[in-house]
Amino acid sequence: MLSSTVKAQIISIVSASNFDDTKTGRLVYSYDATPNFQSMPDAVVSPRNKQEISEIVKLCNEHKIPIVPRGSGTNLSAGTCPTEGGIVLLFKHLNKILEIDEENLTATVQPGVVTLDLINAVEAKGLFFPPDPGSMKISTIGGNINENSGGLRGLKYGVTRDYVIGLEAVLPNGAIIRTGGKLAKDVAGYDFTRLFVGSEGTLCIVTEAILKLIPIPETKQTMLALYQDLEAAAKSVSKIIASKIIPATLEFLDQPTLRVVEDFAKIGLPTDVKAVLLIEQDGPLEVVQRDMARIAEVCKDQKAVSVQIAQSDAEAEALMTARRSALSALARLKPTTILEDATVPRSEIARMVAAINEIAAKYDLNICTFGHAGDGNLHPTCPTDSRNLDEMARVEKAFEEIFEKAIEFGGTITGEHGVGVMKAPYLELKLGKEGVAAMKAVKDALDPNNIMNPGKIFAKDSRKRVVVSK
Amino acid sequence: MTTVEEQQRIQTKFQEKMNQDELLNCMRCGFCLPTCPTYIESGYQESHSPRGRIALMKAVVDGLIEPDEDFERSLDLCLGCRACEPVCPSGVNYGHLLEEARDIVNQNKQFSMPVRVVRKAVFKELFPHQNRMRGLTGLLGFYQRSGLQKLARGTGIMKLFPDSLATMEKVLPNMPTMKEMKNRPEHLEAIGVKKQKVGFFSGCLMDTMFLETNNATMKLLQLAGCEIVIPKEQACCGALHGHSGEKDGAKELARRNIKAFEDTGVDFIITNAGGCGAFLIDYDHLLKDDPEWKDRAQAFADKIKDISQILVEVGFHEKVKLELPNQILTYQDSCHLRNVMKTASAPRTLLQAIKGTQYQEMQNADRCCGSAGIYNIVESEMSMQLLDSKMVNAKATQATTIVTANPGCLLQMKLGIEREGLSSKMKGVHIVDILLEAVKE
């Protein structure tokens, strides 16, 4: 509960209409897209500009009130769930594209801009902003920056981090700083831009971002390769890259995923095969055609039973849309959907997929796997029911083993969803004690009172929990 | 306002009656947010989004919050357009959850005296009785024809009414006479080769205020080669009841309609109002707990088809020559026709088949216009906000004719045109009226 003085002070900063501490108002910001996490904030505040944000942060720092910045709440690691109460900060008033600079190839935006709106705006000018997380129709740029979101084009074009070249941010002491700029080169001191991207709201509040744009590729083609053997599909991925072709997209879906996606999207995906690869290449027409021909050859060499190129833009778009709905389509199977994003070097994809299947069998679970195979970023997904406590315990153990396997293969516990609360207990697996300590030192230096999204990234104790409720 | 006791009763009923599997099925991915008109128009307030509303319903079930005034506000402001359903990857039946929640709230709270009187009059005394609907329409007709309308407008008495209501008075269609409303056909033969035998669901408002549109619908069906049965025992579809938390009233009407069409031997039951069609096609859900009626409701629901859909299926637009003077047409989706009956391309196909006209798709044509049953009267402010946004997109098409497929949408479009002062340049029509006008025999 906020004290009445603090409440009055916040209202005097943002005005009464931008402050909500009603039960209804707080309840609808008590969750994000992560299953089984819910916690009520004390208030929901919608500042109108960076000065207001700075004043709120100062106030919270003085009274040690947690602040959870929140875009559209599509987070999958409970990063935007206010597990320690405090204030949920909304960016609905900071949702403007401030500038698209065609000479410097940059876009300057406020954090509340919806990803798809930005993509449409820059594409109207013949430019391209590649990071396209699965939730891009509603996710905000601010959220993408805080989580360093990936997407389907990561293989060739990188992730959000690779397109953020400057930030304006409010630090936990209320200071407003600017990092980077419209610069291709900038080595003035520590690279705060890259530190803040992916910091999950634990270091600062992003109030503005300068994004790098690139010219839009002239054409693209989409291909579907079908396999009766899961590992053959995974091997194709490594072989395609080994033949020195970097496709724009190289997605993998296994049979259980295919079935539910087809049931949802009804676009005629084959459901009688064990795995498919969805491959997209973009660029000048000649290059795209040459690459696609070569990729088709590689897939056939790897025992693909069928290789087909989408015949129209609409067909290609339908395929990509189907892939985008994979996660949520899996939600049709069971009420609860546990989705992870363990990532390995792409050469290890085949081994990782095999390991996931073994683990699923060992714990008697149905785990569907899809993901950005080209990035080595898999999404083993377990449809389950949070009311079935016995199964939930097995899910917990299975994912723990999946994380350990990923690390064993030189991978990581999270490729793109962030650590949040959900994977905090596993951070040490990846970084080691000293690594976590060094990270914690950075956090403590910038946020000594631990007000910025507390409880995220760093586990409070070593108790392992992936799916434990509340 | 609900009392504490009422809130407790509502909470208990939520725990008993809400479909908990369905509530849990929402994985909170947020894919519904960009499609929700009230989420967008409220300035991105989660409490006015489908995900937020489901979370609130679940929180009432879980005992995290009480069903207080803010909770009711969140339910009230929902248009029920169900645009969130086709985009929901988990396939959550939001419309069913909303209906159940509204029913529980309305059945367990005491409305104020005047509201009670109006609700009883509308839900129990007026809509279920077609003769009374005719009587009311007759009165309106008398108002329009007797010179009373001129008098009312001349004296400025209409200025005493809220803006939207006063404008609404201007856009009502010319009412049919009592005689026209009474002599309704019960059976019509196909013109030319008979292809189908269909039932026609004539509706309550459609068969009174929009009588001409019903006549046009039957004419088109005949031209398309359909023999038509129009059982006179049929009644109002009950959508108004269902959406306003009067489920029992809706069920009673559903049983009457199922019975009326049961032994007619028709292949399909045709509707020309998206709002009615969507409710009829959901009768199986409405009566799912009634063992005697469950299967009969399913059989009924399976036959429901919109007029546009059947016309396209029998190739009406290929067989009959359609032509109109040069004009730009645009189409505003009926939310329920699109999101529940899944009919979106058929109306567009038909319009594009009219020679001499150009079809211009409107941006966000699939977004609710704010009519939503009686929403534009009870939630006038949000409704007008939605309508204003709609008209910006409508104007951008440069269309001279906005075509719709539901009476509520049609009136709302006419209202929008009137509010924008465009009545000399733009008109709103029901799709069957423009199609019949285009028929060159």
Nearest chain A alpha carbon to B51? A28
Q: How far apart are CA B331 and CA B430, in angstroms?
A: 10
Give the confidence band of B94 by pLDDT, cuts at 50, 70, 90. Answer: very high
Contact B30 A114 (CB under 8 A): no
A chain contacts of residue B21, beta-carbon cutoff 8 Å? 335
Q: How far apart are CA B124 and CA B418, in angstroms?
A: 33
A91 with A69: CB under 8 angstroms?
yes
Give the confidence band of B74 by pLDDT, cuts at 50, 70, 90. Answer: very high
Under 8 Å CB pairs connecting chains A and B tally to 89
Of B21, B44, B73, the CB nearest to A92: B44
ipTM over 0.85: yes
pLDDT in tens, B334-364: 999 999 999 999 999 999 999 999 999 999 9
A355 with A369: CB under 8 angstroms?
no
pLDDT of residue B129: 84
* CATH entry 3.30.1780.10 includes domain A4-90: no
pLDDT in tens, B28-70: 999 999 999 999 999 999 999 999 999 999 999 999 999 999 9
Select the more confidently predicted residue: B173 or B331: B331
Q: How far apart are CA B235 and CA A372, in angstroms?
A: 55
Provide, rounded to the nearest whole percent, the portion of chain B with pLDDT above 90: 73
Q: Tell which CATH architecture fits domain A97-215.
A: 2-Layer Sandwich (3.30)
* Lowest mean pLDDT, pick from A333-347, B246-260, B278-292, B403-417: A333-347
pLDDT in tens, A150-170: 988 999 999 999 999 999 999
Residue B247 pLDDT > 50, yes or no? yes
CA distance B51 to chain A (A): 8
B260 with B234: CB under 8 angstroms?
yes
Contact B34 A30 (CB under 8 A): no
Q: What domains lie within chain B, and their CATH numbers?
A: 4-107 (1.10.1060.10), 113-177 (no CATH), 179-312 (1.20.1050), 321-438 (3.40.50)
Contact of A22 with chain B, judged by CB distance below 8 Å, is answered with yes
pLDDT in tens, B272-290: 999 999 999 999 999 999 9
pLDDT of residue A470: 38
pLDDT of residue B162: 63
Residue numbers of chain A with a pLDDT score lower than 70: 328, 461-470
Domain boundaries, chain A: 4-90, 97-215, 218-417
pLDDT of residue A230: 83
Of B25, B28, B30, the CB nearest to A335: B25
Contact A332 B52 (CB under 8 A): no
Residue B143 pLDDT > 90, yes or no? no
User: Reading across the β-sheet that carries A336-339, which strands appear in turn?
Assistant: A304-309, A219-227, A275-283, A249-254, A368-372, A377-384, A336-339
pLDDT in tens, B96-132: 999 999 999 988 888 777 777 778 887 888 888 888 8
CATH topology of domain A218-417: Vanillyl-alcohol Oxidase; Chain A, domain 3 (3.40.462)
Give the confidence band of B411 by pLDDT, cuts at 50, 70, 90. Answer: very high
pLDDT of residue B139: 81
Of B28, B31, B52, the CB nearest to A137: B31
Contact of A32 with chain B, judged by CB distance below 8 Å, is answered with yes
Contact of A80 with chain B, judged by CB distance below 8 Å, is answered with no
pTM assigned to the model: 0.91
Of A28, A135, A264, the CB nearest to B55: A28
pLDDT in tens, B188-227: 999 989 999 999 999 988 888 899 999 999 999 999 999 9
